[in-house]
Amino acid sequence: MKALRGLLLLAFALALTGCHTVLMSPSGDVARQQRDLIIISLILMLLIVVPVIVATLVFAWRYRASNHKAAYDPDWDHSTIVELMIWSAPLLIIIALGAVTWVSTHKLDPYRPLDRLSAGRVVPVDAKPLEVDVVALDWKWLFIYPEQNLAVVNEMAAPVDRPIHFNLTASTVMNSFFIPALAGQIYAMPGMQTTLQAVINKPGDYWGFSANYSGAGFSYMNFTFHGVSEDDFAKWVAKAKAQGSGTLDHDTYAKLEAPSQQEPVRYYGSVAPGLYQSILNRCVQPGPTCMNMLRMSEPSGGSEASATSESHAAMPMAHPQ
């Protein structure tokens, strides 16, 4: 029996060696700061949990029925020291957790431009973020590089130590964009735009996927994120353009938007101007009016009502934090 138990423990240990704890060993600074936040929160909570568990075991052993040496005081009902310990320790932990949460919520806001590339390295003043427009389709990812005039399906690349500015939306249903090694997940929703700021610090190929169930092809909604040098990024762009299957225009996008599963990597050597804005405002096909162009019909109340209508129509689309 002991030999069998040992073999089971060995098999379990060997199985765990195949696990890749990317969340605890990320390659991007934002994800690394989020990892540190998890560790800090865990330690703060263990400061209460561990002593309580130890005290419970000690008390259960010391005051067991068979221990006649333990003091027995059935009339005991109060201790100022115990009360102070019971209330002050959790209160201090809650204050510490609240402070850490408040600071981290603002510091790691996905809409906040990066102020550092990694610990001890600030973002250069003249650094220009790489702009990437992301569209969650059924069931694939579309990446549009406005500066490079390039579009790619189910693959993306970015230079190491260069800030990345993601703009995200979706074609039909809500999805969650997640590259664990790069940064935390953020939702992509139809008719709305969310933003993510991130940076990758180590070269490599990283797994990206949708973390929000979106239908039958959800399991195949994966892509590869390449962290490369500036020179290799230029080569990747040149290769993508050379292998591109023409221009991603409104008609091509309409075909691409149709639901499909296990879509292979596909490149488009150029992108029609304003395509991402058309996708965002849900007016790719002729006919529907773009959401940002919609205006409420002028009511009969006169100029004041008309001005109110125009002001509401001009309000920017809301985004989740």
Does any domain span residue 148? Answer: yes
Does any domain span residue 296? Answer: no
Q: Which helix (H) or strand (E) holds 140?
A: strand 140-145
Strands 130-137 and 140-145: antiparallel
| Model pLDDT, residue 34 | 94
| Model pLDDT, residue 314 | 37
Q: Are residues 275 and 128 in the same domain?
A: yes
Q: What angle do CA 305, 307, 313 make, to 5 degrees?
A: 105
Q: Are residues 141 and 235 in the same domain?
A: yes
Q: Are residues 241 and 153 in the same domain?
A: yes
Q: Are residues 104 and 143 in the same domain?
A: no
Q: What is the pLDDT of residues 10-47, one digit of tens each?
A: 666 665 555 567 888 899 999 999 999 999 999 999 99
Does any domain span residue 317? Answer: no
Q: Are residues 140 and 183 in the same domain?
A: yes
Coil vs helix vs strand at 262: coil
Dist CA 284 CA 235 (whole Å): 31
Q: Are residues 33 and 151 in the same domain?
A: no
Look up the domain containing 148 and give its range. 121-287
Q: Are residues 126 and 227 in the same domain?
A: yes
Does any domain span residue 11? Answer: no
Give the residue carrying structure tokens 């694939």.
140
| Model pLDDT, residue 1 | 63
Does any domain span residue 198? Answer: yes
| Model pLDDT, residue 6 | 67
Q: What is the CA radius of gyration of the chain?
A: 27
How many structural domains are present in the chain? 2
Q: Are residues 172 and 250 in the same domain?
A: yes
Does any domain span residue 223? Answer: yes
Does any domain span residue 252? Answer: yes
Q: Are residues 171 and 279 in the same domain?
A: yes
| Model pLDDT, residue 313 | 37
Q: Are residues 245 and 210 in the same domain?
A: yes
Region of 51 please: left (phi>0), alpha (psi -120 to 50) or beta: alpha
Does any domain span residue 276? Answer: yes
Question: Which CATH number goes with the domain that contains 171?
Answer: 2.60.40.420
Asked whether 167 and 156 are in contact (CB, 8 A), the reply is: no
Dist CA 240 CA 119 (whole Å): 33
Question: Which CATH number goes with the domain that contains 27?
Answer: 1.10.287
Asked whether 128 and 166 are in contact (CB, 8 A), the reply is: no
Hey, what amino acid is at 309? S
| Model pLDDT, residue 226 | 97
Q: Are residues 100 and 176 in the same domain?
A: no
Asked whether 289 and 283 are in contact (CB, 8 A), the reply is: yes
Q: Are residues 130 and 257 in the same domain?
A: yes
Give the residue carrying structure tokens 């929703």.
189
pLDDT under 50 in the chain at which residues?
Answer: 295-298, 301-321
Mind giving me the DSSP string for 38-88? Answer: HHHHHHHHHHHHHHHHHHHHHHHHHT-TT-TTS---TT----HHHHHHHHH
